[in-house]
Structure formats: C-alpha cells, structure tokens
Amino acid sequence: MKLRFFGHSAFEIVTQAGTRILIDPFLDDNPLSPVKSAELTADYIIVTHAHGDHLGDTVKIAGKNTTVICVFELANYLDAKGLNTHPMQIGGAFDFDFGRVRLCTAEHGSQTPDGEYAGLAAGVILSIDNQSIYHTGDTGIFGDMKLIAELQPIDYFLVPIGGNYTMDIQDAALAASWIRPKWAIPMHYNTFPLIEVNPQDFVSATARYSVRARVLEPGEAIEL
C-alpha cells in the first residue's frame, strides 16, 4: 500500500486493491499541504476528532460513494450534513472491505468548528495489506499506549510531536519506545507558530530508544 503525507496530521492511504482512504484531511487551510481538496477523492475518510485542523475538508471531499468513519457523535453531525458515515466508538473494531479499523483512546477534546459537541477524540489503528498503522490523532501521552502495543504489533506509528496541544518530541519518543514500531513518523508540527519544532530532533530522540523515525515532507509518498 502507499502512504502519502500532506503535512499536519493529514494522510492518504491507497491499498493494494486501490481503495483510497484519507485520514484527517486538513488541506485547503493547511499552509503545509501542496495538495488541495479539489484534487482528491476518497472511498473512506477517517476523522479522529472534530477540530478544524482534522475534520478539515471532509465535507467538501466526501461524495456519494465516500464513507466517513468516526465516533458516533461526530457521525451524527456529519449525517445531518448529508454524508454517509460509519459510526464507531473507542475500543471498537470493524472489518471493512479494505481492512480492519479500531478506534482507541486519545487524551484530547472534540468540538466541531461551529461549536457542536462531537463526542470523544480518538486514535485509529488500521490493519491493511498485512501491515498495521497507528495514527494517534491529537493526544497527550498516556500509559495505556502500552496496552495498545500489546493488542497488536504496530508497523507504522504516526505521532504528533509539536507540543502545546499534543505530545512534544520527548513525550512522543517515549511513546514510540512503548509502541516499538518498524517506523515512527512525526506529524502535527510546523503548521502554526505554536507547534514549531525541528523534526530531526525526534529522529535523534527515538534513536536513543532504538526506534527508527522517518520524517516525511508534505506531499511525499512512501510504499509500505
């Protein structure tokens, strides 16, 4: 499968079978993204929580053949806007045609840009084409990440490093030491002045735990 980074916490996955999945598609107002919403289509959009920098352009991109996967309360909000949704909840998993999706804890808030309650913020663990990807969403560090690592091996750990709203580099490196992925990939940094960091410092910080980290440039795609 192919993983493409758009900057911030926005990613695209294209599976071996050609299913297109977007995660947190914050593009049009994302100063880092070289790709804008009009250039993308999706079979599925996974939204970790309702903050504008994660819900992003979901409503613009979702077409009649798109299913949005998110927690129940946010799904209700998107249903009312005419989108097709698949509601889930923290700790639940479901086998979709492209692979398995599990929602997990994120220590964070969730409210829509227009001020509506949107349930709990979530992380997401994807099992696709015999590989696993854990996108934490926005979160502070929490000890139950050790439980997540115990539930299933994680190949790719997409983790926020920008601090202020989420984990910073040191916290994210400690989390990576618990998850022990094949690769840790930093996200949620340098989009705004409050979250400016040098991502190479994350590579050094994880190396001290013998975990490899890879910094993706916005627009860069890698084969998993």
Site of interaction with Mn ion (CB under 5 A): 53, 138
Q: Which is nearer to Ni ion, 4 or 51 (CB)?
A: 51
171 binds, among Mn ion, Ni ion, none (CB under 5 to 8 A by kind): none
Beta strands in the chain (DSSP E): 2-5, 11-14, 20-23, 44-46, 67-71, 84-88, 93-95, 100-105, 122-128, 131-135, 156-160, 183-187, 221-223
Instruction: Choose between 68 and 211: whose C-beta lies nearer to Ni ion.
Output: 68
Whichever of 98 and 189 has its CB closer to Ni ion, that residue is 189
Separation of alpha carbons 62 and 86, rounded Å: 13
What would the x/- binding string for Ni ion be over residues 125 to 154, using CB under 5 A? -------------x----------------
CB 165, min distance to Mn ion, A: 6
The SS3 of residue 14 is strand
Least distance CB 197 / Mn ion (angstroms): 14
Nearest distance, CB of residue 195 and Mn ion, angstroms: 9
Write down the least CB distance from residue 114 to Mn ion, Å.
17
The residues near 170 (Cβ < 8 Å, ≥ 6 apart) are 205
State the Cα–Cα distance between residues 63 and 51, nearest whole angstrom: 21
| In the complex, least distance from residue 121 CB atom to Ni ion, rounded to whole angstroms | 7
- For residues 12 and 138, which CB has a smaller minimum distance to Ni ion in the complex? 138
Tokens of 72: 């129940």
The listed partner (Ni ion, Mn ion, none) that binds 12, CB under 5 to 8 Å by sort, is none
Binding mask 40-59 for Ni ion (x = CB under 5 A): -----------x--------
- CB 2: neighbour CB atoms within 10 A? 13
DSSP annotation of 215 reads P
55 vs 68, which CB is nearer to Ni ion?
55
Please tell me the distance from the alpha carbon of residue 34 to that of residue 18, in angstroms, as a whole number. Answer: 22
Instruction: Please give the residue ranges that form the binding site for Ni ion (CB under 5 A).
Output: 51, 138
